Chains A and B, each alone.
Chain A
């Protein structure tokens, strides 16, 4: 019997068993939609909150309005002024309000005397949500200051433009797309997770599970090349892994359909071509992930130990990519050669519609495939020695 036929016999049996395994099916069929569903929910929430701010303006709690009625009236044109809490700093610290503008009693006297009038803006810079309100308050205060300063200059016969050497105009190109960019950075993370979770039940069942059920010894007594045996197990895990990957990718492709750009305020680069590119990029990832899972699970003492090991293994490639995506720093080209990481970098560039250099894609795919081949070779050698049967 040829090597290929041995491979197919084992492969077909493992796939058939996997299809009959409810846990494997759930992992391959349902979990993959989790990522896209989460992304859709988060995008909907983000777009809702940003729309609310754009449409209805912000609330600014102001303390001591009576000390500067003029300024308060100006502020009221750009925001809704509400009463400040009793202890503004504590309230901001607790996150009850995003910002408090304090107009102290000495404000009026300082203003009349032509001295800089004190105004305090209390906010918590570490809270992402507080930033729009704080920025709005500061913008309004700065506008009032500019206007008042200009009036004073005009009274003294000086044209206000003399003290404004710059005509500063701030054009914010990131909003609201930037708010969603951080969310899009989670896509590569979910892709890697899908690859691992999809193939994991089969990878464990075909190795640690087979030993725990004591069905590995009859298999080792059969006239099969052990390399065909181990590669067939990796390949069958890859089928379920690839299935999960396709589903996740299609799921992400459906997100823009469920949330049209008009609703979320920006368009996502998730057209069919990008989706196909993502699948092609992740094919080596599937191979390496399944090779690693089968190899490690074959060495685990039992089913449970294998589950623990593989769950930890899954986090290793998933986390660095996510962190890099959030930092959005320019990664050095050498990072593209790191299996799992390189693919995530390429995918995140694709999602942001940035140019992707073919050389980097090739580097990333080649290194991942090479790693997969090495792992498979090592596994075949340990199987050849009969280790998975007795190593426990």
Chain B
């Protein structure tokens, strides 16, 4: 369970978030949907504790990030917007490194790493250094290191960005698996198809505010539109920044 409670954040003059509140319940996939520049990445960064809100609070399983950042982050798996890898480490070493940072070690860590390599289909490049990895391979490594500690809560910033169809389907299958295990999953996207294919709940964000929230069906009802895309456009009040 991830909660944002009246979170506000400004960068200089720019008010990126103006009191955003929403909850990401366990056993569901929640999509954070919004046009480019709406504040999605800022909201996620506050949720996984790399940015501090100016006002309001972010909580993970009830733990306030401002009070116990480490405690909250231990319960989080994060695929940030920036998915940089270390060119001189192998794919497997990336997963091991993040596992160690989460306090795993020894046989338990090795077993878990093998499991993720199989699960994400990384066998071909697990022992290769990350230099020259394709976008698909990079995302898989980033996903594996985000999930290495088996987190109850998963936050993903545009996880299928730049992936081909096969890889996209693999990521979606993985997210559904995680949902089946009762985890809470929050991911952001500006791609309608993605949201309608995956989400149990949608939080629509525009100009730093939540403008609509609910199941895709709720959204259609609220806006009186049939298609989710139309509903979304109606909710944010413009077509700007959509795809």
Contact = CB atoms under 8 A, between A and B. Distances in A.
Interface size class of B (residues with CB under 8 A): 20 to 34
Interface in B97-148: 97-98, 100-103, 142, 145-146
A215 B142 CA distance: 10
Contacts of A215: 82, 84-86
Interface string B47-82: 011111000000000000000011101101010111
A223 interface: yes
A9 interface: yes
Interface residues of A, number: 27
Nearest to A10: B101
Contacts of A214: 82-84
Given A218-B98, A221-B49, A223-B101, A213 B86 contact: yes
B210 to A, nearest CB: 23
A217 B50 contact: yes
B145 A221 contact: no
Contacts of A13: 86, 89, 97
Contacts of A1: 101-103
A385 B54 CA distance: 12
B169 interface: no
B101 A221 contact: no
A13 B76 CA distance: 22
Where chain A touches its partner, the secondary structure class is helix
Contacts of B161: none
Interface in B166-221: none
B15 interface: no
A59 B69 CA distance: 80
A106 interface: no
Nearest to B101: A222
Given A6-B101, A217-B50, A225 B85 contact: no
Contacts of A218: 78, 80, 82-84, 98, 142, 145-146
B222 interface: no
B88 A21 contact: yes
A13 B142 CA distance: 17
Contacts of B10: none
A209 to B, nearest CB: 10
A222 B73 contact: yes
Contacts of B51: 386, 390
B243 interface: no
Given A218-B145, A223-B101, A213 B87 contact: yes
Contacts of B45: 217
Which of B50, B81, B85 gathers most chain A CB within 10 Å? B50
B88 A20 contact: yes
A224 B86 CA distance: 18
B48 A221 contact: yes
B40 to A, nearest CB: 15
A217 B80 contact: yes
B82 A223 contact: no
B6 to A, nearest CB: 21
Given A9-B97, A20-B88, A223 B83 contact: no
A139 interface: no
Contacts of A6: 101
A92 B216 CA distance: 95
B30 to A, nearest CB: 18
Interface of A: 1, 5-6, 9-10, 13, 16-17, 20-21, 210, 213-218, 220-225, 385-386, 389-390
20 contacts: A1-B102, A10-B101, A17-B89, A20-B88, A213-B86, A213-B87, A215-B84, A215-B85, A216-B84, A217-B45, A218-B84, A220-B49, A221-B49, A221-B73, A222-B73, A223-B69, A223-B73, A223-B101, A224-B101, A389-B50
Given A21-B88, A215-B85, A221-B76, 6 more contacts: A16-B89, A217-B80, A218-B82, A222-B102, A223-B102, A390-B51
6 nearest A-B pairs in the assembled complex, by CB-CB distance:
A214-B84, A214-B82, A215-B84, A223-B73, A1-B103, A221-B78
